[in-house]
Amino acid sequence: MKKAFVLGSCLLALALGFGASTAHADETCNSPFISALIRGQEQYLHVWTLGEVGVGDEADKLVTINVDSKSPAYGKVINSLSVGGRGEAHHMGLTDDRRYLWAGRLDDNKIFIFDLIDPAKPKLIKTITDFAAKTGYVGPHTFYAIPGRMLIQALSNAKSHDGVTAMVTYSNDGNYVATTKMPITNGGDGYGYDIGINPAKNALLTSSFTGWTNYMMDLGTLVKDSAAMKNFGKTMVMWDLKAMQPKKIFEVPGAPLEIRWSLKPQDNWAITATALTSKLWLVRQNDKSEWEAKDVATIGDPAKVPLPVDISIAADAKSLWVNTFMDGTTRLFDLTDPTAPKEIYSKKIGSQVNMVSQSYDGKRVYFTTSLLANWDKKGNDNEQFLKAYDWDGKELVHRFTVDFRELKLGRAHHMKFSGKTDAAALK
């Protein structure tokens, strides 16, 4: 694997390139430090899938689907790689050279590193089993590429299993580098969830969620436990990226989740959704270049607890897809004025929906279903699928569905694209 770069030396070049409107197919949520970009249309979609008792081999697995509309295998599962056991498979992230895909499990804390030299047939090359023992933290959630490194946001700690946690840095070849604790002073609650970086502003933004005790609890039991419901994050933190030091802590009630920076070079803002309060929050620099956080929109009817989950921002930052798990609906918000987002479209995808990934040109949108094994719906409402749509600017047009339960694959969760790139990074 490639040697690590010095982070500070890469910031200027990446800042100049951040938000460049090149015609590629990568997801807009990817780290700006990823150098190899997919040109044209994505060819493969990798789905990190939770094993389910009584379904297939019952093990967590990486499922690869052909999404090249010109291929005779379009819409078909072409590879399924089981990793053994069920450890709450959750999120994935590509390394900066795009050669390797990291995937984590929130319960047993294992991290799997897949080689994408042949993206049609990913190869498991390393399993990290001592994440908790080495760091003292559990629930490796977000995997975010920085030069030569993988920055991992853990959700909890090994001592009390509450939400107080840390970010952990590894080298691309899977060696531990450093631990950075989430702040617990000056208004910090110590919680963490997602990571988003804007190199042009030397800005690293983090959000917050909850600890192992809550996310491994049955959702119906959790919502009836008033004490447990108090143990959700209510902060976001702006960090100095080079120094890896917190600069400002924002009060953002209701568990702010995924962070999406505007990719337009001149912009200085990011947006997130809060799971419990059903709000969109904007984090941006004001006229005095001071960072501030503001509640800017409501998602659905908060009284019905729609439970906003994943979001996906358009490359031109003019729109945002927002999924709500409980009603299985996706909503499109107009972000032309990010201080006042407006819902302009909605569509029910299924009984439940969690993750959303759109191509960089915004013409293709993918949805998966699983949130957490103990939070997914029960019985017939426990639909598990990948659905692919074309977006024509007015309507989501269904292209294909992969029924994960019918194929005995398990619970479909996180997605990542792969395909032909414009760099020789995979050689």
Tokens (6 digits) for 403: 């029924």
Q: How many residues does the chain have?
A: 427
The CA distance from 331 to 397, in Å, is: 15
Please tell me what DSSP assigns to residue 221.
H
Q: Which token pair is 312?
A: 């996906």
pLDDT at 37 (0 to 100) = 85
Amino acid at 161: H
The residue ranges of every structural domain in the chain are 7-418
Cα distance between residue 93 and residue 113, in whole Å = 10
Q: What is the pLDDT of residue 4?
A: 36
Q: Residue written as tokens 């959303």?
A: 356
Task: Provide the 10 A C-beta neighbour count for residue 73.
Answer: 12
What is the bridge-based pairing of β-strands 44-50 and 411-418?
A: antiparallel
Measured in whole angstroms, how far is the alpha carbon of residue 346 from the centre of its chain? 21
| pLDDT at residue 421 in the model | 77
DSSP annotation string for 136-170: SEEEEEEEEEETTEEEEEEEEETTT-SS--EEEEE
Alpha-carbon distance of 278 to 256, in angstroms, equals: 10
pTM (predicted TM-score): 0.94
Structure tokens at 346: 């909605």
Q: How high is the pLDDT of residue 283? A: 98
H/E element holding 343? strand 342-348
Of 278, 305, 271, 224, nearest to 28 by C-alpha is 271
Helix (H) or strand (E) holding 215: helix 212-215
Give the strand order in the sheet containing 44-50. Answer: 77-82, 61-66, 44-50, 411-418
Q: What is the CATH number of domain 7-418?
A: 2.130.10.10
Fill in the amino acid letter for 196: G
Q: Tokens representing 42?
A: 């994505």
Ordered strands of the 329-334 beta sheet: 308-313, 319-324, 329-334, 342-348
In the predicted model, residues of the chain with pLDDT beneath 70 are 1-23, 422-427
Tell me the backbone φ, ψ of residue 11, rounded to 5 degrees: -65, -40
Q: What is the pLDDT of residue 49?
A: 98
